[in-house]
Amino acid sequence: MLAAHGIEKRWGDHPVLRGLDLEVSEGEHTLVAGPSGSGKSTLIHVLGRLAPADAGALHFRGAPVAGDAAAWRLAHVGLVFQEILLIESLTVKQNLRLVQRGPSPLDPAALLEPLGLSDRLDAAARVLSRGERQRVALARAFANRPTLLLADEPTASLDPAARSATLDHLFQLCEQVGTTAIIVSHDPMVADRSELRQSFRMHEGRLV
Amino acid sequence: MSFLVWPLANLRHRPWISGATLGGVAVAAFLVATLLGFVRGYEQAVRRDVDKLGFDLLVTARGCPYEAATLMLRGGVGLRYMQPAVVARLEQEPAVTSVHPQLIHPVRDPASPGGMILMKGVEPSLAAVQGLELASGAWLDAGPGVVLGFEAAELEARRPGDAWNVPGTDTRLPVLGVLERTGTQLDGTVLMELRALQELFELGDRLTGVGIRIDPDRRHLLPDLRQRYDDEAELQVIALDKVVEALRLAMDQLRDVVNLLAGFLAVLAALVLLNAALLRALTDHRQLLLLRAIGLPFRFLAAAALTETLLLVLAGTTTGLGAASALGLWSSRLLIGYLPYEPKGNLILLDAASAWGMVAAAVGLGVLATLPALYRVRASVPDSSRVL
């Protein structure tokens, strides 16, 4: 489904990705592990076309990715970020509706129901607990029924119980929507998940 | 989700910033509308008052032009008198269709220490010339008595049929009628038949001025007529259009100050908007970057940010314009003290064209103020989304 070959990326003078190769098939949830600063987040940014690669090729479903990056993400990619950011002025439902611009958006109530947030649909984002905010952020990543989920440290700064629940929810939504996940994380709890089909470690800008 | 939901939610989310911005724009709009509207309204009111005099020329005893202008409009005090023989001469002029001698005589108001009541002796024909209308009662041709201006009647608490004690005399005269409100100094004046006023105060046949109407078909004779009488040592002739011009000259300096002040206020409003937009950019920057990262097009984010600013701008400008309109009478009273002549009524002239002009200018300022914040979001994506 997604293939990256010879990807190189520098931030200023510092080379981060050095000829990285990665292939992910449909339903093949993938983990990229590695210590902080090893380039995991940069990989997510390049795969999600948030930042252009300096060299290399990126293919999606057999074709080179091209055209407007934002439109491509909106149509195909769900993003989960390390930092939980919701639009504070909006309700939970409005946060989901705001980003729903894809061709087949999911009903917010249906998205929130398996996450145990059905009763928080009309709650203001600013009054949610940290765990609730993380679940809403997860739901938002699936709002446009994405083919590919790119998750950058989705369990960072959560307590062990919340980390486990977040991963449960993440894979549950992948199952429900039919999404393939690429997760970058240095959390051992992620590496232990049975849903993962392949795992890599980032080493000197390449996957090993 | 409705396009307006997000901008409206943002405005509610930051009530203090939104309120302060809206208030700043409203105050600026109020002041600009009041100041600019006053300049136009004042000119119009002066012209209206002059038109209501009903004369083409006024001949008075010689004095400075401003004094003469004030004399015509306000009645003036410390008057000079003119020789009555000029009336007969003017009646012989081929260009003159009617002559209206008048005597202005201020008397002390016994009910108000230091206050004066302005009495004006006129011929009954003046009512037709000036288009005066009665609120109640009858005009001077109904018999001996006085006709009170609208405010004079209220102040003296008199109605037609009541008796009025002429200040400084033992004379009681019946109130014949009360004039409709004119919005001019006539509202505070007590009118009497000219001859009766002269006799009452033993002023002989003195006059303070003679109003003249000119035959419209013989207006070409006007310059010569004006010149001949103006050349006389004791007389001066004031054409009413010259009065307007004299007052307008007096206003020119005020207009410059007003325009400068209005410009300053517009800059102030722009800074308020810019500050609010930058504050929003600061607090919302990461959220906007996140939405860009998710894939929302920049034009959507720009439209939402512009909508938010424009909602504030439109609400502020509308509030300011509404306040300027509602408080026009009060603002007029406040501003008019600085000017040589004081027309009555609401002098803040707000027409649709100028109101729309202000709204358009405010919208333009709002758009300009939002651009730096939008540029920051545009320039930050995608590279700085790494901070996410």
Note the pLDDT tens digit of each residue in B201-219.
998 888 988 999 888 788 8
pLDDT tens digits, B333-374: 887 777 766 776 678 888 888 899 989 988 998 888 888 878
- How high is the pLDDT of residue B294? 85
DSSP structural state of residue A62:
T
Question: What pLDDT does residue B76 have?
Answer: 47
- Provide the pLDDT for residue B241: 65
Interchain contact, B294 vs A69, CB within 8 Å: no
Beta-carbon contacts below 8 Å between A and B: 80
What per-residue confidence (pLDDT) applies to B384? 40
pLDDT band at A172, cuts 50/70/90?
very high
CB A172, CB A205: distance < 8 Å: no
Rounded-to-integer distance, Cα B278 and Cα B282, Å:
6
- DSSP symbols for B70-107: HHHHH--SS---B-THHHHHHHT-TTEEEEEEEEEEEE
- Does residue A115 contact residue A137 with C-beta atoms inside 8 Å? no
**B380 CA: distance to closest CA in chain A (Å):** 11
Mean pLDDT of B111-124: 84
Q: Are A146 and A76 in contact (CB under 8 A)?
A: yes
Q: How far apart are CA B249 and CA B261, in angstroms?
A: 19
Answer whether residue B75 shows pLDDT above 60.
Answer: no
pLDDT of residue B77: 46
Instruction: Kindly report which listed range (A100-104, A114-118, B357-361) carries the lowest average pLDDT score.
Output: A100-104
Which amino acid is it at B229? Y
Burial of B237 (0-12, 13-18, 19+ CB in 10 A): buried
The per-residue pLDDT for B108 is 83
CA distance B376 to chain A (A): 17
Find tokens 């020119």 and name the residue.
B252
Mean pLDDT score, B174-197: 90
B168 pLDDT higher than 80: yes
* Closest to B345 (Cα-Cα) out of B191, B186, B171, B164: B186
Nearest residue to B62 via CA among B220, B262, B192, B229: B229
Q: pLDDT, tens digit, for every residue of B287-302?
A: 888 888 888 888 888 8
Quote the CA–CA distance of A3 and A56 in Å, as a whole number.
Answer: 11
Question: Is residue B153 within 8 Å of B188, Cβ to Cβ?
Answer: no
What is the percent of chain B where pLDDT is above 90? 25
Flag whether pLDDT at B70 surpasses 80. no
Strand B146-148, strand B189-193: pairing: antiparallel
Q: Mind listing the pLDDT tens digit for each residue in B212-250?
A: 988 878 888 888 888 898 888 888 888 876 766 676 676
DSSP-derived pairing of the beta strands B134-137 and B172-179:
antiparallel
- Comparing A80 with B348, the larger pLDDT belongs to A80
Give B-chain residues touching A73 at CB under 8 angstroms: 293-295
Q: Is the CB of residue A150 less than 8 Å away from at least one CB of chain B?
A: no
Question: In this complex, do B382 and A50 lie within 8 Å of one another by their Cβ atoms?
Answer: yes
Does A117 have pLDDT greater than 50? yes
Q: Chain A within 8 Å of B287 (Cβ-Cβ)?
A: yes
Which residue of B lies nearest to A69 if distances are taken between CA atoms? B295
Nearest by Cα to B309 from B267, B280, B283, B266:
B280
Interface contact B297-A88, CB threshold 8 A: no
Interface test with B, best of A89, A97, A136 (most B CBs within 10 A): A89
Pick the closest to residue A141 from A63, A58, A68, A44 (CA basis): A44
Q: Which residues of A touch B292 (CB under 8 A)?
A: 70
Reduced to 3 states, what is the DSSP secondary structure of residue A175?
helix
